[in-house]
Structure formats: C-alpha cells, structure tokens
C-alpha cells in the first residue's frame, strides 16, 4: 500500500527508494515525521484511539485503511515475530495462535481493532477515509487502484496504472525490495521480510481443530462487526 501510494503521488512507477519503516508513526518521533519530504505518506498499525484524530479532521487528511483477513494475519504475524530480531521469539505455531487470539501482543486483539474502526466509520470519522482489502488488491489490483485514484482525486494514464500494479505485485516487491539493507539490521539471517503474501496461506498452518476453535472465538468476539467482510481464499475476480 505504501509503495502504491508513493508511486501515485510521484506520478511514476519507478521503484521507491524510501523504506516504509522510516515512515511508521511507531518508529519515528513527531519531529522526524514532520521533516519527511513531500510527497509524504505516513504509516501506522495504530488503532484510531492512538491516532491524532483531531489534527486529521482539522486538516482533512486523506486516510487509507488497508485490512486483511484475520487468519492470514495470524500466520504472517507469527512468521514476522519469528523472523524479526527484536521479538526474540522462537515459539511454536500452536502456542502463538493462542497468544494471537488472546491479544497478548503490542496492538492487542485484531477483532477489537476492527470494531474500533467500525465505530469511527459509523459515527463519521470527520476526515476522508477509504477502506481497502488486501485480498481485493491481490485478486483485482487494477480495479482497486482505480477506486483509490478516485478517492485521491488523481488521474493517471492507463500505462502508468498498469506499470504500478506490475511493480507493486508481491513477487517483484520481494525481489526488488527484499534485499534492502535495513532488513539485515532488523531481521534474522535467512528470513525474507516479504515472505509469501498469499491469500489463503492459513490453510497450510491451521489444523481442522484450530480452524474450528478460531471461527468460534472470532464469531463471538466480533459480534456486531458487520462492516468488514473478509475473503479467506483466492478467487478470480
């Protein structure tokens, strides 16, 4: 999403040199964020309550909320925790799944994150907000790019749109961005920060019993969450 937005704002499909990690609110000070050169895309995994909502409303900051199905997130998060040095984690998948469901992580429960965003949207966030699903980007990137461009009120020619989708495909991102030296600092040897990016990889990890347990807990804890409907397997658009 960061790469797509930067290419849109730069009106170019040239690979972005900046690393997203240096644009994360969790990783930089307010002063460092303010010093980033335009065009500026600020990233965060924070729930709404930790975002500068008053400033976003006052300045009408265009905001893109990109979300992914909770099962693939669990798998991705597990591998992320095992591969990034600062977590210092080497546990088993079956143990991690319990930790994930209980929300004993730095951002808490994903279901609560979604419920909080739903409240913001239904109450009216007060700033322009566009919701995108990772699965839709994977399955029909051009259509999703057109929706995003409409939200941003930016027009690009057809060739540039095709080039952006091609450049931001997961395979090319992994090949061209995965060798960034910053990952040598943060990641364990042999870990590829761009791991798979697949829709439905959770099926390679969840047992039948784990999947049933997950569905039961998720249904209970997301009661009232009717805004975000996820796709759990890949289908042709």
Q: Please give the full DSSP string across 79-137, using - where no structure is assigned.
A: HHHHHBGGG-----HHHHHHHHHHT-STT--HHHHHHHHHHHHHH--SS-EEEEEHHHH
**Cβ atoms of 178 and 52 closer than 8 Å:** no
Cβ-Cβ contacts under 8 Å for 171 (sequence gap 6 or more): none
How many domains is the chain built from?
A: 1
Query: In this structure, what CATH number is given to the domain that contains residue 191?
Result: 3.40.50.300
Domain hosting 124: range is 2-221
**Among 54, 71, 39, CA closest to 152:** 39
Q: pTM of whole model > 0.85?
A: yes
pLDDT given at position 178 = 60
Confirm whether 116 is domain-assigned. yes
pLDDT higher than threshold 90 for residue 236:
no
Give residue-wise pLDDT tens across range 112-140. Answer: 999 999 999 999 999 999 999 999 999 99
Packed helices 93-102 and 208-221: angle between N→C axes, nearest 10 degrees: 10
Look at the block and give the residue holding tokens 């000070």.
29
For residues 207-225, average pLDDT: 93
Percent of the chain's residues with pLDDT above 70 = 95
Confirm whether 226 is domain-assigned. no
Give residue-wise pLDDT tens across range 135-175. Answer: 999 999 999 999 999 999 999 999 999 999 999 988 888 77
Per-residue confidence band for 237, with pLDDT thresholds at 50, 70 and 90: very low
Based on C-alpha coordinates, what's the Rg of the chain?
A: 18
Active-site annotation, residues? 45
């Amino acid at each position: 999403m960061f790469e797509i937005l930067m290419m849109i704002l730069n009106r170019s499909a040239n690979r972005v040199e900046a690393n997203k990690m240096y644009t994360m609110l969790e990783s930089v000070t307010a002063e460092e964020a303010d010093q980033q050169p335009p065009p500026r895309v600020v990233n965060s995994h924070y729930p709404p309550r930790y975002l500068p909502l008053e400033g976003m409303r006052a300045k009408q900051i265009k905001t893109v909320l990109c979300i992914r199905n909770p099962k693939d997130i669990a798998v991705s998060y597990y591998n992320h925790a095992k591969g990034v040095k600062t977590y210092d984690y080497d546990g088993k998948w079956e143990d991690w799944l319990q930790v994930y469901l209980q929300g004993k992580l730095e951002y808490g429960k994903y279901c609560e994150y979604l419920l909080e965003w739903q409240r913001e949207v239904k109450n009216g966030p007060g700033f322009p907000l566009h919701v995108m699903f990772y699965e839709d980007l994977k399955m029909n990137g051009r259509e999703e790019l057109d929706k995003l461009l409409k939200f941003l009120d930016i027009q690009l020619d057809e060739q540039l749109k095709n080039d952006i989708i091609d450049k931001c495909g997961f395979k090319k991102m992994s090949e061209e961005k995965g060798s960034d030296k910053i990952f040598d600092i943060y990641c364990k040897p042999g870990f590829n920060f761009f791991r798979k990016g697949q829709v439905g990889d959770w099926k390679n990890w969840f047992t039948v019993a784990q999947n049933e347990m997950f569905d039961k807990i998720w249904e209970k804890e997301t009661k009232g969450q009717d805004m975000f409907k996820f796709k759990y397997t890949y289908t042709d658009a």
